[in-house]
């Protein structure tokens, strides 16, 4: 087939991009070459709209061993131990085929982690669905949860935390972001940079089929009514093969045979071979007849663009082929020498003795387009003036019931009970806490991790929203007693060719960056997902932040469970009473305007560090950060977790009980303290100039407000845990 | 005491079991499925996981693997065999234990703590155990035990039911049945009571920092009984 502009456009390239390809090559590419260009130059692989802005991110820190640019980021957690972690989106395929889309998302991110030599020790996920009233939501939720569980459970890596959010802006584009943490010896990390000429290039893992061809292009496109027709572009996962691949790779990594290793993710063999060669400034020669194929008569074009799962590309030391093959034979996996590194600096493909492609690698990697797309700043919305009349008709108990059973607040137990969260025998904080925590196997250390997003805040004011998500991740780690170390980000946005969406992206990044720098909480890995748009309607800007922190002695893990009755409950940080953009304003007052709560980074850092000090001195019995739903929801969740009640003292400082209890002011925590320790806690707080209020005291069962018993903890538990089960039944 | 844990392709609780056995004083060896001989052992454990990806049926391919004939011979000569979760499924596939494990009644994977009531402690596994209700952990998609009426009768007559799912108070009822298992059965023995298959994972409950530590009671007691 003769390549022309129309075929290029069908491949997702723009006419001017096609012209650039012809100019660079000084000829018209053949179809295989065009396929390779389209895969490498699409948004998903080239980051052409985002690269310029991602460069601004704060990626350095004392504990950062590897920042963005590798398969995953790496941080130092002491004693030669390092944590490899990354979050990645699998949004587009999950909407089309929720089970396989979500499953292969989990498979892909785990491969990114074990490619670096790390054994995965924990999975997390952040999933966003449309309105709970939307006809597709239930099926999508069920499919995604089954897919995530189906893959992670089979591999035997615990899913320790997550986040689920419903909002109508995701009606046509759900989000599935999967994150994995792995453990590696910091002196035995494997990278994707090839080195040396004439080194064998090895293909291992599953056979190549026709599934997922153009998956990366599909992930760079907006959706229309015919999106269901794209089902064949969704990859099919096989966690069993991945488990074998994991064990085989780790076995091979125990000696020094591997020069470079790269998993075949988006754009399969194309991007993996080009990335390894590009990083090593080498050429690569592949003989596509040697690629193990699962289907007959596959063409070079199909072989290069297939996104079949559970495959890896390895550059080996010469002479290590036989010993390496033995390991893959033992695990019943394909192993084929398919090419070698060269000094040509080109990718050269052969098929049935013919040269079928020859392209300089720099055209595909470094010279891929990079755009400075026009973008528009979002103005800070005017504050909403609530009047006492707005609250007059409300009944406090009804409000509590509605709030605690709100889909974005209620317990997600229906979801996480379907994930194996205890396999590997090191999970010490299971899902449902502020962060998941796993022990570093065989040591006293533990690693905490959480995922967060706040699309409503980011939508209202992207810069503030960006800062807020980073702070939220920080707070979640602090709440379990972990010292926050670094983050990974998954940037889910609409169409970058629209200046409003591009502006949201740019300003969220600026916000993320400001908080990340101030808190010394660098970004070490991440991914960008644009074009989350259906029929001209984009999602709310949704940067998802995955945070990782360290607990030096796992016995000092802090939880949010109220421990016993008659202890004091304190709110740390100042409550201003801002309701704008809160769940309360949205759900109870039907008010969706206004700015998100302000972020004061000084307070954020100071309050968090003070909480860590209180935990370290063993003065806190339980800790929970205040987030969606404010103090009331925060305190009730602590009641439910510990099966205790609370008697709220009469509040003094604000005019309105709703503003006090439901505002989502930032930088706050709730802590439970033994009465005898109040003086000590008070003196630490005062010394650090941290504002606090005495909120109340724990009770056996009753929730008491203004001296009036309201609900018992059993009733609240029923509201909190019941909603999702009922919705899904 | 010497124990051996068999690793099948797709096993994923092999390490957890190794850690638990060693913690309580077993000298444990890991045995690859493709080996044909077992090391000298006082206990053979088939661990949890997804052997052979659960292809065909859970445990069916592992039930035909190379090492299995040695396990069957070992069991038939009176050796102690423990199958947890996928290990239990494999034991039913080999015919060493009666019945089958079907998909959970709610057709969902379930991962949570449960209580089980020990039904028969006249055997090496549970003899002299301090507690008759243990809090253990389940994590499975196919744990719904089923057998024919005739098989059930003979299991009951011969006291082969090892444990039932129950409430924290030991009450065996529908409410405490997590997966729809016939009669709340969580684990069973063979006729001679030297083979135990059960769905709950004691190896995940061996430390107070984890979901609980009633698994410790199980392992400590087992080791005492073997000495």
Q: Do B139 and A420 touch (CB under 8 A)?
A: yes
Domain of B215?
2-226
User: B131 by DSSP, 3-state: which?
Assistant: coil
Predicted confidence (pLDDT) per residue in A471-496, tens digit: 999 999 999 999 999 999 999 999 99
Q: What is the pLDDT of residue A229?
A: 67
Cα radius of gyration (chain B): 16
Q: Which of B13, B85, B147, B166 is catalytic?
A: B85
Q: How far apart are CA B213 and CA B205, in angstroms?
A: 4
Confidence of residue A247 (pLDDT cuts 50, 70, 90): very high
The residue in chain B having the minimum alpha-carbon distance to the alpha carbon of residue A442 is: B19
Q: How many domains does chain B have?
A: 1
Q: What is the pLDDT of residue A215?
A: 64
B139 CB neighbours in chain A (<8 A) are 153, 420, 422-423
Q: How far apart are CA B101 and CA B27, in angstroms?
A: 31
pLDDT reading at A217 higher than 70: no
**How many residue pairs bridge chain A and chain B with CB atoms within 8 Å of each other?**
88
Place of tokens 């396990």: B71
Element (H, E) at A218: helix A215-218
Place of tokens 């699309």: A455
A425 CB neighbours in chain B (<8 A) are 15-16, 19-20, 203-204, 206, 210
Confidence of residue A1 (pLDDT cuts 50, 70, 90): confident
A123 CB neighbours in chain B (<8 A) are none
| Shortest Cα–Cα distance, B78 to chain A (Å) | 31
Q: Do B53 and A241 touch (CB under 8 A)?
A: yes
Which tokens go with A411? Answer: 């317990």
Q: What is the pLDDT of residue A45?
A: 87
Q: How far apart are CA A726 and CA A718, in angstroms?
A: 11
B211: domain CATH number is: 3.40.50.880
Predicted confidence (pLDDT) per residue in A8-40, tens digit: 998 889 999 999 999 999 999 999 999 999 999
Q: Give the best residue of A236, A423, A426, A427 to mutate against chain B (max B CB count within 10 A).
A: A423
CB-based contacts of A190: which residues, under 8 Å, 6+ apart?
A: A115, A116, A117, A253, A258, A260, A261
Q: What is the pLDDT of residue A651?
A: 74
CB-CB contact of B62 with B93 (8 Å): yes
CB-CB contact of B33 with B65 (8 Å): yes
Predicted confidence (pLDDT) per residue in A50-89, tens digit: 999 999 999 999 999 999 989 999 999 999 999 999 999 9
Q: Do A417 and B110 touch (CB under 8 A)?
A: yes
Mean pLDDT of A204-224: 76
Q: How far apart are CA A529 and CA A155, in angstroms?
A: 26
Percent pLDDT > 70 in chain A is 97
Q: How far apart are CA B220 and CA A252, in angstroms?
A: 37
Q: Do A430 and B211 touch (CB under 8 A)?
A: yes
B141 CB neighbours in chain A (<8 A) are 153
* N- to C-terminal Cα separation, chain A: 52
- What is the side-by-side order of every strand in the sheet holding B43-46? B27-32, B2-7, B43-46, B80-84, B195-198, B185-189, B161-166, B110-118, B133-140
Q: What is the pLDDT of residue A389?
A: 86
The b/e string for A231-254 (b: 16+ C-beta within 10 A; e otherwise) is: eebbbbbbbbbbbbbbbbbeebbe
Q: What is the pLDDT of residue A398?
A: 94
Active site residue B140: no
| Shortest Cα–Cα distance, B18 to chain A (Å) | 11
Q: How many CB atoms lie within 10 A of CB A398?
A: 10
Angstrom CA distances, A375 to A131, A505, A554, stand at 28, 9, 46
Q: What is the pLDDT of residue A219?
A: 61
Mean pLDDT of A159-171: 96
pLDDT reading at A267 higher than 90: no
Mean pLDDT of A332-336: 94
């Amino acid at each position: 087939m003769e390549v022309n502009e129309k075929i290029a456009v069908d491949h997702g390239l723009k006419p001017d991009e096609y012209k650039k390809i012809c100019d660079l090559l000084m000829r018209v590419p053949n179809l295989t070459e065009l396929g390779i260009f389209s895969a490498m130059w699409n948004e998903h692989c080239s980051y052409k709209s985002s690269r310029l802005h991602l460069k601004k991110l704060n990626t350095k820190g004392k504990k950062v061993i590897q920042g963005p640019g590798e398969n995953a980021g790496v941080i130092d957690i002491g004693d030669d131990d390092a944590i490899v972690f990354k979050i990645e989106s699998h949004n587009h395929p999950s909407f089309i085929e929720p089970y396989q889309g979500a499953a292969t998302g989990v498979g892909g991110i785990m491969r990114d982690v074990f490619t670096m030599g790390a054994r995965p020790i924990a999975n997390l996920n952040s999933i966003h669905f449309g309105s709970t009233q939307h006809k597709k939501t239930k099926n999508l939720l069920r499919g995604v949860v089954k897919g995530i569980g189906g893959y992670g459970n089979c591999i035997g890596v615990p899913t320790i935390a997550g986040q689920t959010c419903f909002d109508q802006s995701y009606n046509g584009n759900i989000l599935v972001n999967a994150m994995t943490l792995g453990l590696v010896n910091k002196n035995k990390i494997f990278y994707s940079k090839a080195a040396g000429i004439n080194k064998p290039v090895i293909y291992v893992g599953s056979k190549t089929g026709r599934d997922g061809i153009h998956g990366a292009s599909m992930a760079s496109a907006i959706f229309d009514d015919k999106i269901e027709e794209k089902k064949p572009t969704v990859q099919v996962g096989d966690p069993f093969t991945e488990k074998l691949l994991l064990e085989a790779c780790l076995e091979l990594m125990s000696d020094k045979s591997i020069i470079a290793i790269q998993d075949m993710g988006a754009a399969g063999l194309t991007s993996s071979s080009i990335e390894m060669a590009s990083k090593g400034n080498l050429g690569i020669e592949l003989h596509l007849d040697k690629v193990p194929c699962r289907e007959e008569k596959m063409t070079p074009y199909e072989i290069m663009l297939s996104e079949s799962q559970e495959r890896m590309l390895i550059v080996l030391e010469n002479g290590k082929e036989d010993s390496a093959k033995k390991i893959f034979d033992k695990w019943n996996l394909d192993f084929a020498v398919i090419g070698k590194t060269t000094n040509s600096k080109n990718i050269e493909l052969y098929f049935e003795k013919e040269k079928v492609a020859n392209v300089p690698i720099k055209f595909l990697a470094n010279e891929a387009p990079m755009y400075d797309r026009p973008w528009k700043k979002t103005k800070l919305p005017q504050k909403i003036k609530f009047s006492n009349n707005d609250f007059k008709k409300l009944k406090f108990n009804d409000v509590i019931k509605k709030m605690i059973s709100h889909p974005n607040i209620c317990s997600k137990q229906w979801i996480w009970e379907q994930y194996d969260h205890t396999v590997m025998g090191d999970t010490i904080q299971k899902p449902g806490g502020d962060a998941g925590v796993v022990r570093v196997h065989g040591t006293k250390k533990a690693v905490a991790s959480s995922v967060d997003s706040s699309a409503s805040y980011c939508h209202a004011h992207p810069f503030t929203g960006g800062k807020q998500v980073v702070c939220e991740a920080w707070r979640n780690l602090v709440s379990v007693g972990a010292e926050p170390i670094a983050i990974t980000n998954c940037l889910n946005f609409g169409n970058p060719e629209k200046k409003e969406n591009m502006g949201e992206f740019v300003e969220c990044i600026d916000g993320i960056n400001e908080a990340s720098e101030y808190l010394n909480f660098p970004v070490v890995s991440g991914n960008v997902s644009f074009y989350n748009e259906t029929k001209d309607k984009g999602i709310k800007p949704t940067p998802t932040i995955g945070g990782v922190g360290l607990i030096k002695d796992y016995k000092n893990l802090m939880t949010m469970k109220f421990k016993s009755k008659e202890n004091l409950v304190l709110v740390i940080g100042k409550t201003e009473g801002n309701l704008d953009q809160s769940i309360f304003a949205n759900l109870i007052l039907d008010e969706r305007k206004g700015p998100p709560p302000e972020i004061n980074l000084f307070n954020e850092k100071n309050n968090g560090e003070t909480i860590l000090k209180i935990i370290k001195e063993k003065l806190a019995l339980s800790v929970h950060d205040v987030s969606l739903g404010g103090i009331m929801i925060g305190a009730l969740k602590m009641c439910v977790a510990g099966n205790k009640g609370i008697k709220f003292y009469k509040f003094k400082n604000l005019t309105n009980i709703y503003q006090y209890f439901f505002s989502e002011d930032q930088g706050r925590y709730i802590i439970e303290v033994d009465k005898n320790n109040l003086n000590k806690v008070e003196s630490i707080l005062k010394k650090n100039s941290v504002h606090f209020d005495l909120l109340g005291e724990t009770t056996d069962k009753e929730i008491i407000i203004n001296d009036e018993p309201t609900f018992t903890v059993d009733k609240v538990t029923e509201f909190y845990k019941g909603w999702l089960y009922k919705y899904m039944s | 005491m010497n124990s051996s844990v068999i690793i099948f392709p797709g096993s994923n609780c092999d390490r957890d079991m190794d850690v638990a056995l060693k913690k309580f004083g077993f000298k444990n060896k890991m045995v690859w499925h493709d080996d044909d001989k077992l090391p000298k052992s006082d206990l053979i454990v088939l661990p949890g996981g997804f052997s052979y990806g659960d292809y065909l049926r859970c445990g069916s391919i592992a039930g035909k693997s190379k090492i299995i004939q040695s396990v069957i011979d070992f069991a038939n000569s009176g050796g102690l065999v423990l199958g947890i979760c996928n290990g239990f499924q494999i034991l039913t596939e080999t015919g060493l234990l009666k019945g089958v494990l079907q998909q959970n009644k709610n057709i969902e994977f379930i991962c949570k703590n449960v209580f089980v009531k020990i039904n028969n402690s006249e055997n090496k596994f549970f003899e002299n155990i301090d507690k008759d209700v243990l809090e253990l952990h389940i994590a499975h998609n196919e744990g719904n035990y089923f057998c024919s009426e005739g098989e059930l009768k003979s299991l009951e007559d011969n006291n082969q039911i090892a444990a039932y799912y129950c409430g924290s108070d030991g009450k065996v009822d529908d409410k405490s049945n997590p997966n729809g298992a016939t009669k709340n059965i969580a684990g069973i023995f063979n006729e001679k009571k030297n083979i135990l298959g059960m769905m709950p994972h004691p190896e995940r409950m061996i430390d107070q920092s984890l979901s609980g530590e009633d698994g410790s009671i199980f392992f400590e007691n087992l080791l005492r009984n073997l000495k």
